[in-house]
Amino acid sequence: QKSFDPTKRTIVLLGTGWGAISFLKKLNTDDYNVVGINVKRFLSVLADVVISPRNYFLFTPLLPSCTVGTIELRSIMEPIRFITRHKSRNVKFFESECTDIDPESKTISITDVSDIKGAVSNSTIPYDYLVVAIGADNQTFGMAGVREYACFLKEIWDAQKIRTRLMDCVESAGFASQPPEEVNRLLHMVVVGGGPTGVEYAAELHDFLKDDLELWYPELADKLKITLVEALPNVLPMFSSQLIQYTERTFKQNKIEVMTKTMVKEVADKEIKVLKANNEMVTIPYGLLVWATGNCPRPLARKLMARIKEGQTSPRGLLIDDYMRVVGAQDMYAIGDCAFSRYAPTAQVATQQGKYLANIFESLARIEEGQNKKIAPFEYTHQGSLAYIGSDKAVADLPFLNGNVSVGGVATYVFWRSVYISYMFSFRNKFLVLGDWTKSKVFGRDVSRE
């Protein structure tokens, strides 16, 4: 690999998620090197600096499967170094959190947030171009108790926490002379949010109950109850009505209680209070509470929006134009969930934005060389929506000709699996996930608690 060239301009890339990794994979550092662009020129990008508090890429679509051990955590984590080593130029990676971005001085502040620190754990890094791909935070609506008592499902540690707590609830419910009402509370698993995250988690939990808990904890399994609470009139609002009905029917058959038109209003350590459509306030005791009510901007994105004086008018994220430029800032781009545009916050969108941005950098370089290149605005191509709904069934809305095809069932589940395996970046991860699926089918899921 070619080494860092101090005479060349630097792209600082924040994040190692879907947006950042697709950008990094597509960015042709070798190309820039060959053309020998130097510091005086607009786009002499020869070194990238990647900054993220986690040193791996996380394949989020399979994260719900990790909460019950269908798939092991490490199987969906791809070390960032496996990706950067394939670049023609050495990519510097700092495992740290970016705590501040100063668009005036074009610098960012980073902090080593890991347990082990060296003599230096804070630093400032200058950039020529900044690509912000920091994703989004969990939406809590500022409700007290959510961060203290609920589990989110966004990061690897969230899935680990859910898996541990789930088994803790089961073991505590089985504790000697546990009163029946306490057994019922401990075995009540409540999911808040009927978007795809909440639905897929409830589905995985149901499978775990049917395939494993009934076998290993027969005295408790029939007492375990799953409830999904959703404020809107139905779950999966982004899917076609046919698939919404199919999902709700499947959940009913699987004895997952779906409480629609019901909004969580209060969260305490052992119970939540919900407001139903008829204005009735109901108390629901729970053992495990999983909170999946969508996204909100991360504190860093909010801080940056406040710093940029003009144009940042959306409370939902960094406002970008059709070229991924952060409105009101110079030489700064944002992609993925941290950016606010007309697209949904999905991996599909983040991936396409990342690739598009790498192409923009390439086109700009060609233009600087004197070539005649037109830069077209970003256009998103929707490849369909997929979700797992339990009992080896999935739902899929797929674009077909000029319309849409809606399918659901076991065949769709096979399709769901094959799509996600094909989307995994490395052969290593594909192999590990296929191995996990086989292992959990043959031997059952691991019920030991870490």
Select 117 or 252, whichever has its Cβ closest to ligand FAD. 117
What part of residues 108-137 is at the interface with ligand NAD (CB under 6 A)? Answer: none
| 442: three-class secondary structure by DSSP | helix
Q: Residues 37-76: x/- map of binding to ligand NAD (CB under 6 A)?
A: ------------------------x---------------
Q: Does 17 bind ligand NAD (CB under 6 A)?
A: no
> What are the residues facing 79 on neighbouring strands?
56
Decide whether 186 or 320 has the Cβ nearer to ligand FAD.
Answer: 320
Which residue's CB is nearer to ligand FAD, number 70 or number 346? 346
**Contact between 161 and 288 (Cβ < 8 Å):** no
Binding-site string for ligand FAD from residue 38 to residue 77, where x marks contact by CB under 6 A and - marks none: -------------xxxx-----xx-xx-------------
Pick the piece of the chain touching ligand FAD (CB under 6 A) from 33-41, 236-244, 262-270, 342-350. 342-350
**Is 35 buried (19+), middle (13-18) or exposed (0-12) by CB count in 10 A?**
middle
Considering only the stretches 85-93, 142-150, 268-276, 336-344, report the one whose residues sit in contact with ligand FAD under the rule CB under 6 A. Answer: 336-344
- CB–CB of 247/389 below 8 Å? yes
Cβ pair 345, 337 in contact under 8 A: yes
Kindly state the smallest distance separating residue 201's Cβ from ligand NAD, in Å. 9
Q: Binding ligand NAD by CB under 6 A: which of 79, 294, 328, 409?
A: 294
- Determine how β-strand 263-267 pairs with β-strand 271-275: antiparallel
Q: Are strands 332-334 and 385-390 parallel, antiparallel or unpaired?
A: unpaired
231 or 284: CB nearest ligand NAD: 231
195 binds ligand NAD (CB under 6 A): yes
At 90 the three-state DSSP class reads coil
Measure Cα distances from 260 to 88, 123, 184, 190, 237 in Å: 52, 48, 22, 13, 12
- CA nearest to 332, candidates 305, 370, 350: 305
10, 65, 70, 197: which one binds ligand NAD (CB under 6 A): 197
Cβ within 8 Å of residue 113, ≥6 positions away: 53, 96, 97
Task: Let me know: does 228 contact 289? Beta carbons within 8 Å.
Answer: no
Q: Which of residues 402-441 bind ligand NAD (CB under 6 A)?
A: none
Q: Which chain residues interact with ligand FAD by CB under 6 A?
A: 14-20, 51-54, 60-61, 63-64, 97-98, 133-135, 153-154, 197, 298, 300, 336-338, 345-348, 350
Q: Which chain residues interact with ligand NAD by CB under 6 A?
A: 61, 192-198, 200, 229-232, 237-238, 263-264, 292-295, 344-346, 385-387
